[in-house]
Amino acid sequence: MDDNGQISAEFLFLFGVLILLVMLSIVFVANENELNIAMAAARNGAIEGSESSSSAIYPKDTFTVYSNSKTSLLFPYSVEIVNVSYAELGYDSNYEKMWIRFMVYAKTSERFDDSELVSIGDRINYNLRKSLAISFNTTPSTNKLYNPVFSSHYVYTTANVKWIQG
């Protein structure tokens, strides 16, 4: 018997298994890459939101509302983003994607009442979601508040900012 064909068959089998492993790993790497992009965008958006709030830079309609009821937010103040994290909340059958909720932890040295902290948190979350939408180029598929935001495999929302006593 001639064994010359046996090495080629083993090589083809090994090569086929390697291709299969590479294809399977690409799926996992792509999902992880998408989450890494989302986390980077979320951090950038949260920092941008805290900086715009801290600088007291608001759209005209927000400025008008704050002029009447939350005047302390019209002056520069300090907000520090302590942490940005996310939780996978399972499969969302409405959007047929996995649901991710971002959570921002922040602190301020200023004394604000609860409604003012909610307003600051809303500005941080808005910028976080906007940054996600821009990163995934999905601004046309969301609303003007960027809630929720979509990517290829995920739908993203935000929880209220958790304020840490500083």
Q: Are strands 154-158 and 149-150 parallel, antiparallel or unpaired?
A: antiparallel
- The whole-number pLDDT of residue 77 equals 82
Other Cβ atoms less than 10 A from the Cβ of 156: the count is 27
- For the four alpha carbons of 83, 100, 39 and 47, in that order, the dihedral sign comes to negative
pLDDT of residue 105: 97
> Distance between CA 101 and CA 159 in Å, rounded?
7
Per residue in 92-149, pLDDT (tens digit) is 999 999 999 999 999 988 788 888 899 899 989 999 999 999 999 999 888 888 989 9
* Cα 127 from chain centre: 10
What is d(CA 120, CA 160) in angstroms, rounded to the nearest whole number?
A: 10
Q: What does the mean pLDDT of the chain come to? A: 87
One-letter amino acid at 36 equals: N
Task: State mean pLDDT over 66-92.
Answer: 87
Q: Is 84 helix (H, G, I), strand (E, B) or coil?
A: strand
Mean pLDDT, range 55-63, rounded to an integer: 77
Which positions ≥6 away from 100 have C-beta within 8 Å?
A: 35, 38, 86, 87, 88, 89, 154, 155, 156, 157
The residue-averaged pLDDT of 73-85 equals: 87
Q: Where are the domains of the chain?
A: 33-163
8-state DSSP, 139: G
Residue-wise pLDDT for 13-22, tens only, equals 888 899 999 8
Check residue 44 and give its pLDDT. 94
pLDDT surpassing 90 at residue 55? no
* Interatomic CA distance for residues 73 and 92, integer angstroms: 36
Quote the pLDDT of residue 5. Answer: 55
